[in-house]
Structure 1
Amino acid sequence: MNNKRGRSVMRISMSLPKKLLNEFDEVLKDRGYNSRSKGIRDALKDYIVRYQWMKDIEGDRIGIVAVIYNHQYTGVLEDLTDIQHEFRDYINATMHIHMTGKNCLEVIVVKGEAQEIRNLTEKIMRLKGVEHVKLTTAAGGEQ
């Protein structure tokens, strides 16, 4: 299938929780989008750019891993703790904040080899019950 500009376009189908779709539609409306497809394309591009940026970091880094998770999800807190113990050489501090009756924010301060920080972040991302993870880093070498 070609779009108006002659580019090849693939039609896909997605299943999303109704609440997530409603929230996405509100964001699109607030940002002035006329098309859900355009919003999804932009969101996917942003996701890819952030992944590539995270993938390309090298050397020593310092930063934070922000994790939002549903503490009512069976085993998520134990799994999160186990991962933090596994990567204890790269974790300087953690802060736990109760957001709502079910959601918590864990802020993990990290320092060390970029690849290990990436591994930590990706392990957390794969946990069931984790709703959002964001890694923010800067060069962490001695000045």
Structure 2
Amino acid sequence: MSVVSISMPEALLERIDEFADEHGYSGRSEVVREGARALLEEFQGRAADGQTHTCTVTVVFEYCQHAVQQRLTGVRHEYDGIVSATTHAHVRDRYCMELYVLEGTAETLSGFVNRVRAVPDVRAVDYAIITFEEGRVDQHIES
């Protein structure tokens, strides 16, 4: 097994160590390996189907972080073809929240989510994917 060196904030390292202790992992390496596997596989099952999916992406960052907002706007424009809607809200007087509604293949959705995750100083990124199956949607509407 190869050994790699990574940089991360001390607070995140402490959370990883606590998580490893609380959940019975042998150490932080095992937690990081499992997290990396999950990240690499999260879109894999849907990528092969070629279908169009609908996805909501929620991004949280600290209020008045103009550089973050500019970078997110850049990502939004880069993926303009799949962005159906966006909205901005203030949360708890300290945070901004951007909500994106996307429609595209798993590959393009994954690209968007990964680009947003790479924006420095983003506090959280969460997403949900919905696949509308034609037969099931039509059936539900008719009944």
TM-score by length of 1: 0.69
Are the counterparts in 1 of residues 55 and 109 from structure 2 also a CA contact under 8 Å? Answer: no
Shift of 1:65: 1.5
Q: Is the 8 A contact 1:63 1:135 kept in 2?
A: yes
Q: Would you say how many aligned residue pairs link Structure 1 and Structure 2?
A: 135
Give 2:96's aligned residue: 104
1:96–1:23: structure 2 CA closer, same or farther, 3 Å change rule? farther
Distance 1:55 1:75 in 2: 32
Contact kept, 8 Å, 2:47 with 2:105, in 1: the verdict is no
Letter in 1 for 2:22: D
Deviation at 1:37, TM superposition (A): 2.1
Match of 1:14 among 3, 6, 21: 6
Task: Answer yes or no: is the 8 Å Cα contact 1:112–1:140 preserved in 2.
Answer: no
Mapping of residues 30-69 of structure 1, within 5 Å: 30-53=22-45, 55-56=47-48, 58-69=50-61
* CA deviation after TM superposition for structure 1 residue 88, in Å: 4.4
- Read off the aligned partner of 2:57 and give its amino acid letter: V
By how many angstroms is 1:33 displaced?
Answer: 2.1
Q: 1:75 aligns to what SS in structure 2?
A: helix
The answer to whether the 8 Å contact 1:71/1:77 transfers is no
CA-CA distance at 1:43 after TM superposition: 1.7
Distance 1:82 1:76 in 2: 10
Contact 2:21 2:27 in 1 (8 A): no
AA of the residue aligned to 1:43: G
CA distance in 2, matches of 1:13, 1:89: 37
Q: 1:25 & 1:68 partners in 2: Cα distance?
A: 24
Normalising by structure 2, report the TM-score: 0.69
Q: 2:85 aligns with which of 81, 93, 107?
A: 93
Tell me the secondary structure at the aligned position of residue 58 of structure 1: coil
Equivalent position to 1:125, from 106, 117, 128: 117
* Cα 1:134–1:79 shift into 2, 3 Å: same
Q: Give the CA RMSD over aligned residues.
A: 3.0
1:61 and 1:113 in contact (8 A); partners too? yes
SS in 2 for 1:106: strand
- The answer for unaligned runs of 5 or more in structure 1 is 1-8
Identity of aligned residues (%): 24
Residue in 2 that maps onto 1:84:
76
| Distance change in 2, residues 1:102/1:58 (3 Å) | farther
